[in-house]
Amino acid sequence: MKLRVQSINFDATAALESYITKKTSKLEKFFDDIISAEIYLKVIKPETATNKEAEIKISAPNVDFFASKTCDTFEEAIDLTIDALEKQLKKYKEKAPKK
């Protein structure tokens, strides 16, 4: 799986990027054919308590999955976004015709 992390209006730390890589790689347990994952991190203006937004787009053959969450921290937003994508992947896999 190819991973691309984009941080908009700030620079993501190495620790944050490794956290994202670790969490995103878990999605491959649910769906084998993931081609790439694009992660967009944004700090939403004006400064409020929940102003960290994470969007993740997963590309697989013939289908894309997308989730977005806004939280207090990027780690929390990533966790919730990954959870939402896990549900989408499981649901898609149940409905997909068996090979």
Say whether 69 sits in a helix, a strand or coil: strand
- For domain 2-93, is the CATH number 3.30.160.100? yes
- Partners of 67 in the beta sheet? 56
Q: What is the pTM of this model?
A: 0.90
Strand partners, 53: 42, 70
Please report the beta strands in 1-99, taking only residues with DSSP state E, as ranges in sequence order.
2-8, 36-43, 52-60, 63-71
Q: 9: which 2 tokens?
A: 């209006």
Q: pLDDT > 70: what percent of the chain? A: 98
Domain boundaries, the chain: 2-93
pLDDT for residue 99 is more than 60: no
